[in-house]
């Protein structure tokens, strides 16, 4: 039943050019027949056809009205289709539930993916001149190793290369925070002291690092 409906919908779509040709030919045949009659009254062929066309009236307008008459009023057809689909859905509630869930999941997944893409790729990062922020990744293509991380001398090399204003390593970690009444699990980002200068932002609370502490081998 549903399949038959889709087939008729497709047919309505593809047969449009056929009905359009029919319409064209029918109106042309009318004008020819009228011109034949006028010719019989003693007009020349060209004049007869011209008169026939004038008598017919606004061809484009009538063609448009014919198309409407063939297809039915657009709103009427739309409501017919809507009523039909509601009836079909009510007839098979299982199918209706599956269809609605599929659409809901589809919309949900698409929205979620778009939100992530929008936040990570489309929206600029909330830092001044955020377009100048880049991520450096060190690969060893010879052995097929990706993102192997930087050694400290390598980091210093980048820092001194003059290519970048600031270079800071970042390292995600998790650890336990003790010393208060309740220990807590905290997530850390281990960075160089120039990290906030790199981002161009101040810390929300607390103080920034003092750069003296970035000296190699110095622990505080």
Partner 1 sequence: MDYQAELLPGTLDLLILKAVSIGPLHGYGVLLRIAQISGRALLIQQGALYPALFRLVRQGLLTTSWDKSENNRRAKFYELTSKGRKRLREETDGWNRLVAAIASALAAQPQET
Sites of contact with partner 1 (CB under 8 A): 22, 25-27, 29-30, 32-34, 36, 55-59, 61-62, 65-66, 68-70, 72
For the CB of residue 91, give the shortest distance to partner 1 in the complex, in Å.
Answer: 26
Q: Whole-number minimum distance, CB 44 to partner 1, in Å?
A: 18
Least separation in angstroms between residue 42's CB and partner 1 is 17
Cβ-based nearer residue to partner 1, 25 or 157: 25
Q: Considering beta carbons, is residue 34 or 50 the nearer one to partner 1?
A: 34
Q: Which residue's CB is nearer to partner 1, number 39 or number 154?
A: 39
Output the smallest distance, CB 18 to partner 1, in A: 12
Q: Rank residues 52 and 167 by Cβ distance to partner 1 and give the closer one.
A: 52
Nearer to partner 1, 47 or 65 (CB): 65
For the chain, give the secondary structure using H, E and C.
Answer: CHHHHHHHHHHHHHCHHHHHHHHHHHHHHHHHHHHHHHHHCCCCHHHHHHHHHHHHCCHHHHHHHHHHHHHCCHHHHHHHHHHHHHHHHHHCHHHHHHHHHHHHHHHHHHHHHHHHHHHHHHCCCCCCCHHHCCCCCCCEHHHCECCCCCCHHHHHHHHHCCCCCCCCCEEEEEEEECCCCCCEEEEEEEECCCHHHHHCCCCCCCCCCCHHHHCCCCCC
Q: How far is the CB of 100 from partner 1 (least distance, A)?
A: 34
């Amino acid at each position: 039943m549903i399949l038959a409906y889709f087939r008729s919908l497709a047919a309505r779509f593809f047969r449009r050019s056929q009905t359009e040709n029919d319409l064209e030919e029918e109106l042309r045949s009318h004008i020819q027949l009228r011109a034949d009659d006028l010719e019989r009254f003693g007009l020349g062929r060209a004049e007869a056809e011209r008169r026939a066309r004038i008598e017919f009236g606004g061809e484009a307008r009538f063609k448009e009205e014919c198309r409407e008459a063939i297809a039915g009023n657009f709103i009427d057809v739309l409501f017919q289709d809507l009523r039909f689909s509601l009836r079909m859905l009510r007839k098979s509630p299982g199918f209706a539930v599956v269809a609605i869930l599929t659409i809901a999941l589809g919309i949900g997944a698409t929205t979620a993916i778009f939100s992530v893409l929008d936040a990570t790729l489309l929206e600029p990062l909330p830092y001044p001149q955020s377009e100048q922020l880049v991520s450096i990744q060190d690969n060893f293509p010879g052995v097929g190793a990706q993102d192997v991380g930087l050694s400290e001398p390598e980091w210093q090399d980048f820092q001194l290369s003059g290519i970048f204003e600031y270079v800071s390593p970042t390292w995600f970690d998790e650890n336990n925070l003790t010393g208060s009444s309740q220990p807590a699990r905290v997530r850390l980002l281990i960075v160089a002291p120039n990290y906030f200068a790199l981002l161009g932002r101040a810390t929300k609370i607390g103080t920034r690092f003092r750069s003296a502490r970035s000296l190699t081998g110095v622990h505080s």
